Amino acid sequence: MTIEKYSFGKIVIDNEKYTNDVIIFPKRVKSDWWRIKGHFLQLKDIESILDENPEIVIFGTGAYGMMKIDPEVVSELQNKEITLIAEKTKKAVKIYNEKSAQSRVIAGLHLTC
């Protein structure tokens, strides 16, 4: 999967436009990703990601970095030896496009703030 364009509130993945937060799996996009506590990412919010056994998980924390990550998420990924990359969404998109062809990468992207 390739992200062609990201701007505040919009993303284009493989020629498909999305306006809700997304999880990009290797062969599909979950187009309605929302966290239980909105801007606070918890373990419960990433169960579907963990089920896929990725090598790398990239979180786009929003255009302004408003989404925060629970330390339990960080610990769980470390315990499973999954590389965690968390950046503002614009930078996360760039990293995803660089790494997705080489590894089992999943990205959870917050598209707005």
Query: Residue ranges of the domains in the chain?
Result: 3-109
Residue 106 bridge partners (DSSP): 57
Residue 9: its pLDDT value, please? Answer: 97
Write the DSSP assignment of 3-61 as a string of letters. EEEEETTEEEETTEEE-S-EEE-SS-EETT---TTSSEE-GGGGHHHHHT--SEEEEE-
Mean pLDDT over each residue of the chain, to the nearest integer: 97
Residue 112: its pLDDT value, please? Answer: 96
Q: How far is CA 82 from the centre of its chain?
A: 14
Q: How much is the average pLDDT of 6-11?
A: 98
Residue 35 CB: number of other CB atoms within 10 A?
17
Fold observed for domain 3-109: Hypothetical Protein Mth938; Chain: A, (3.40.1230)
Residue 58: its pLDDT value, please? Answer: 98
Q: If you ran DSSP here, which 8-state letter would residue 68 be given?
A: E
pLDDT in tens, 19-48: 999 999 999 999 999 999 989 999 999 999
Residue 102: its pLDDT value, please? Answer: 87
Residue 36: its pLDDT value, please? Answer: 93
pLDDT in tens, 53-104: 999 999 999 999 999 999 999 999 999 999 999 999 999 999 999 999 888 9
40, 70 in Cβ contact below 8 A? yes
